Structure 1
Amino acid sequence: MSDNEQYGPSRFGFFIAPYHPLTGNPTLQLHRDLALVELADQLGYAEAWIGEHHSAGLEIIAAPEVFLAAAAQRTRRIRLGTGVNSLPYHQPMMLADRLCLLDHLTMGRTMMGVGPGQLATDAAMMGIDPVRQRDMMHESMGVLVRLLRGETVTAESDWYHLSEARLQLLPYQRDGLEMAVASTISPSGAVLAGRHGAGLLSLAASDPSGYEALLPNWKVYEKTMAEHGHTVDRSRWRLVAPMHLAETREQAMREAEWGVGHLVDYIEKLSGRDAPWNSSARAAVEQWVGEGFPAFGRATIGTPDDAIATIEKLAEQSGGFGTFLLLGLNIANWEATQNSARLFAEYVIPHFTGANRNRVASLEWAHANSARMIGGLTAGIQSAFNKHGRTLAEALGANEEAN
């Protein structure tokens, strides 16, 4: 596919960090996350990606593999990805072992997302130098790929040591685990993905800087893939953006006011700065759909038509990608969140997959030929009356005589 060809996604899913208000019950919040994946499976979403975080209170899934094992027991077909494993936090052989186990438990539905680690607080508690995190990610990825291929690996760095390491259990999937590398604004993720033939997971697609970086990062990815002998496939590119949908734009804005405060508080606490748009929930929502939030980018809060317009803009900006992932934010209450997922599945997904293309063509054909069809129908009815009219008259006459 050339760079001039543009197309929208054909697959859809959720990217669940998650982000939960500090005022809620964490046990119930986690079970609602499981229920959201279950609902996504029922509605025909293709994927669900679950994050890994260890501090700051809102993103409370510490082990995505554990969560996904539970989700697998509640679902039938949806593919399940770690979104993402922070590679500097893990001894590579232990992580590879866990993911292979998960792939068998899910019978081949597991995907592996990798990144350097997002929260500075996570790295600080583990004594990891933030400057080293991307280098550590590259070091770990090289070992993981070899282990998952079944190789025996002897390798040493300043933070792990492997001596004739090999996995006793390889992935369930014969072609191995599908891998995707997190990419935001810098080209680091694109380079790593291209080096190992992994997919690209663009987490900041709706952020103004991330939006502008989509095509440059893809160029880096293409170049690196070619240098390492891998085939480029835009269908393996995933873009993530926040959305909340309702029947009207005003209703969606009102529903988002329910939980936007916890995101504003999170941004303020992590940045150490007051947000100038925290005067009211409505002001925060308007800022988010306008100039956007730091780290969270611009949100689409409106109707299915608004969602379609946003995704089409992303397709045009990027030149085409394969999967769109809704960023799970918990900004609306549970009932509204479920309704948003249903609206997206009912009206947005068919727009891009062309699910109703032949149905529309069938009705248009019927309309274009309606005169001929109605004429034929009328003629058929008249022919039936002509053919059986005497029989009908005789039956009616006999009935009158009997009375």
Structure 2
Amino acid sequence: MTKAELRYGIFLPPFHALDEDPTLCLQRDFELIEFLDRLGYDEAWIGEHHSGGFEIIASPELFIAAAAERTTRIKLGTGVMSAPYHHPFMTAGRMAQLDHQTKGRAMFGIGPGLLNSDAQMLGIRAETQRDRMGEAVDVITRLLDGEIITAKTEWFEMHNARMQLGPYKGRRPHIACTSTVTPNGAVLAGKYGLGMVCVAAASLAGYSALDTNWAIACAEGEKAGKPMDRAGLRLMAPFHVAETREQAIAEVSWGFDKWSDYAYQISPQGPASIGLGPVKDMIENQAAVIGTVDDAVAQLERYWDKTGGFGCMLILAQNWATPENTKKSFDLIARQVMPKFAARNARRIESYNWMGDNRVEFANATRTASQLAIEKHAAKGA
């Protein structure tokens, strides 16, 4: 990977406070993805949750199907589908259909399920979720590859199961596993040749595990004969950019406390349970970018150095700022952060400086040429 190849996108849980109309919140999510599509962002990953009242998308596939009709180029992924909550055969079938409906723009993010409250309602024990995720990945990848499967586990069974609809243009849609601090996602990614979405990159523990988990995935991939591709390595973290750091801090105060209160509903540790916390602490600990273009570029450099290069930076769509200021931040990232990190203007700057360095010579040549033209004209009239 080179910095010029780095892709950008969002990770949309979504987070919506309890004082807004949920229908309008969903419409705003669609509008944000349309906006990002026009700006040239590459990806949007949509979450699945069933409790807590804040993260109100229960079916990322339904959302993606509608978002695909509103956009033209941005790729859309389940971010993530909770594998233990769904029969793998039905999951594979829905993803194949979505692959066709989006004409290959659908991506399939898979995880064990984040909110224990969701699992509790379904009678699923937390200690079984990672194993179930692995079992689901195994049969889903095989089904999408065209295998006929007979299998029985403690939570699903199949008898000569085969998919009647193959993937769009015969190619399996991109599949990525979540990776946090544990090596579970990295092992699955390597074993099955999948992408990785490092959803805990903002936390100290998650950041520390970025290079080690990638190394684990590469080692597993080598054993399975499926080399890992850094283009499939994604990092997720919060970014909010404004003209000054003071302005950025003021802007995120609009919704940060509501989000923080929700985090305490999930865990007694609140935002600290995922490595986040008060705005000042997050800035000091480099857990989030709440600042300027230069702050954002510095964070990207930090992630790049830690991983040795990665494929996509996913910005957590956190709704800490107003919708208007959130869009301004994404616009500023597209217009100034992305080109600065990738040195896209290097040739322009070189040309600009070359012109300035030689402006006296060039200006004198222009004046001399003009004077000669005047003199030639005068000579003809003589």
The interval holding the TM-score normalised by the smaller chain is over 0.9
CA contact (8 A) 1:7 1:319 kept: no
Please give the alpha-carbon distance, in whole angstroms, between the structure 1 residues aligned to 2:223 and 2:271.
Answer: 44
Please give the alpha-carbon distance, in whole angstroms, between the structure 2 residues aligned to 1:225 and 1:43.
Answer: 35
Name which one, 1 or 2, has greater alpha-carbon Rg. 1
Q: What's 1:127 paired with? A: 123
CA contact (8 A) 2:4 2:344 kept: no
Q: What's 2:376 paired with? A: 387
Please give the alpha-carbon distance, in whole angstroms, between the structure 2 residues aligned to 1:359 and 1:104.
Answer: 41
Q: How does 1:86-235 map to 2 (within 5 A)?
A: 86-235=82-231
Following TM superposition, by how much is the alpha carbon of 1:325 offset from its aligned partner in structure 2, in angstroms?
0.6
1:119-152, Cα deviation, whole Å (9 max, x unpaired): 0001100001100000000000000000111111
Please give the alpha-carbon distance, in whole angstroms, between the structure 1 residues aligned to 2:299 and 2:111.
Answer: 26
SS class of match (2:168): coil
Whether 1:361 aligns to 2:350 is yes
- Aligned pair partner of 1:25 in 2, 14, 21: 21
Please give the alpha-carbon distance, in whole angstroms, between the structure 2 residues aligned to 1:81 and 1:34.
Answer: 14
Please give the alpha-carbon distance, in whole angstroms, between the structure 2 residues aligned to 1:8 and 1:57.
Answer: 39
TM-score scaled to structure 2, two decimals? 0.94
Following TM superposition, by how much is the alpha carbon of 1:291 offset from its aligned partner in structure 2, in angstroms?
4.7
Q: What's 1:64 paired with? A: 60
Please give the alpha-carbon distance, in whole angstroms, between the structure 2 residues aligned to 1:193 and 1:138.
Answer: 10
Please give the alpha-carbon distance, in whole angstroms, between the structure 2 residues aligned to 1:105 and 1:352.
Answer: 34
Q: How does 1:314-353 map to 2 (within 5 A)?
A: 314-353=303-342
Please give the alpha-carbon distance, in whole angstroms, between the structure 2 residues aligned to 1:359 and 1:153.
Answer: 56
Following TM superposition, by how much is the alpha carbon of 1:365 offset from its aligned partner in structure 2, in angstroms?
2.9
* RMSD of aligned alpha carbons: 1.9
The aligned length equals 378
CA contact (8 A) 1:9 1:324 kept: no
Please give the alpha-carbon distance, in whole angstroms, between the structure 2 residues aligned to 1:144 and 1:274.
Answer: 34
Q: What's 2:49 paired with? A: 53
Please give the alpha-carbon distance, in whole angstroms, between the structure 2 residues aligned to 1:119 and 1:9.
Answer: 34
Whether 1:36 aligns to 2:25 is no
Please give the alpha-carbon distance, in whole angstroms, between the structure 2 residues aligned to 1:39 and 1:320.
Answer: 27
Following TM superposition, by how much is the alpha carbon of 1:156 offset from its aligned partner in structure 2, in angstroms?
1.1
Q: What's 2:291 paired with? A: 302
1:194-252, Cα deviation, whole Å (9 max, x unpaired): 00000111001110110111111111111001000012221211000011111111111
Whether 1:11 aligns to 2:7 is yes
Following TM superposition, by how much is the alpha carbon of 1:101 offset from its aligned partner in structure 2, in angstroms?
1.0
Please give the alpha-carbon distance, in whole angstroms, between the structure 1 residues aligned to 2:255 and 2:113.
Answer: 25
Where does the alignment leave 5 or more consecutive residues of structure 1 unmatched?
277-282, 293-297, 395-403
CA contact (8 A) 2:47 2:81 kept: yes
1:301-330, Cα deviation, whole Å (9 max, x unpaired): 111111111111111112211110100000
- Aligned pair partner of 1:261 in 257, 264, 273: 257
Q: Aligned partner of 2:283: which letter?
A: V
Please give the alpha-carbon distance, in whole angstroms, between the structure 1 residues aligned to 2:167 and 2:341.
Answer: 32
Q: Aligned partner of 1:107: which letter?
A: K
Following TM superposition, by how much is the alpha carbon of 1:9 offset from its aligned partner in structure 2, in angstroms?
6.0
Structure 1 runs (4+) deviating above 6 angstroms are none
Q: What's 1:400 paired with? A: none
Please give the alpha-carbon distance, in whole angstroms, between the structure 2 residues aligned to 1:361 and 1:113.
Answer: 41
CA contact (8 A) 1:8 1:322 kept: no
Following TM superposition, by how much is the alpha carbon of 1:389 offset from its aligned partner in structure 2, in angstroms?
1.9
Q: What's 2:282 paired with? A: 288
SS class of match (1:310): helix
Following TM superposition, by how much is the alpha carbon of 1:377 offset from its aligned partner in structure 2, in angstroms?
1.8
Q: What's 1:295 paired with? A: none
SS class of match (1:309): helix
